[in-house]
Structure 1
């Protein structure tokens, strides 16, 4: 996986992975990244969870440095949270760690990422008619099967990441947040 920029991304190590690899924690972090600062109660309502559960998991995320207070938002006892980084860098070596708990956390993390991608795509398909026609014509759900070496696969993924970074902060009035999912994995030849 391409090395993310240090200031914008958090690279997972064994300890931080164990602190993040929980479906609700990953959903909370994603909600804060996508929608901005929020309270535990706001996040509970958004995710259909209890505020006690969201409060607990937010504190766990904070203990591992994934979220932090948003002090400019808080009033009195109301605690606002914000994401501490824009994204996460995952080291595939965590899947080979000697500690089975780390390998299990890595599996949980990857399965939750895959589930989130599938949920986001399914949501788009179900709501695509809510968008103007020019957005429907701008989207893509293609797939490709090509023969590549592991080295060429890493090179191609890196080039795609670089290309996306070049378009990342468009400020045109009609610009919207657009999700790109990149999945690159080997399949058995027939």
Structure 2
């Protein structure tokens, strides 16, 4: 993505959700988005899967428009894949869709996202000593509890998203030293007290 390019985000609908809501497909798409184009065999090695499984699920992702061939790579029979969009937007109405298969896919999708976030935090905790002190100080595992209305919670979420997106255009030029991919997770949800 170039400096001035707006990230392409795909909003899930019932059909595309059912094509994506599979643990391996979600992991494949995540790796392609974060690490760039790859072959089925390269992804298989990275994820500890068979190349037959990664090939099959990449074709399923392609059929639903989540990945596509990368024509700039590959020679001969070697097929390289890349993500078709930079992100995915989940529409909460999918959780209340009248079709039980869509509701089940929505439930699986959001639980896989939560699992991925947990794994990413655990990986950071296990590898943070490998990073320079400046990066260890920049990390954050904070939590806050606020008393808000649903409308205020939506406003806060939207402002957080706007702030995070404003940093996209501040990305240093390619090749700049000291730059790393930084993952940000936001979780906001009501809880029962008492």
- Under TM normalisation by the shorter chain, which class is it? over 0.9
The within-5 A match list for 1:33-182 is 33-169=33-169, 170-171=171-172, 173-182=177-186
Aligned match for 1:185, one of 177, 180, 189: 189
What is the Cα-based RMSD across aligned positions, in Å? 1.3
| Bigger shift: residues 81-90 or 148-157 | 148-157
Structure 2 residues not aligned, in runs of 5+:
none
1:170-190 CA distances to partner (integer Å, 9 max, x unpaired)?
205322111100000011112
1:130-152 CA distances to partner (integer Å, 9 max, x unpaired)?
00011111111010010111111
Structure 1 residues not aligned, in runs of 5+:
none
Maintained 8 Å contact 2:7/2:87: no
Determine the C-alpha separation between the residues in 2 that align with 1:7 and 1:143: 28
TM-score (norm 1): 0.95
Q: CA deviation at 1:81?
A: 0.1
Equivalent position SS for 2:168: coil
1:96-151 CA distances to partner (integer Å, 9 max, x unpaired)?
00000000000000000000000000000000000001111111101001011111
Maintained 8 Å contact 2:117/2:185: yes
Alignment length (residue pairs): 186
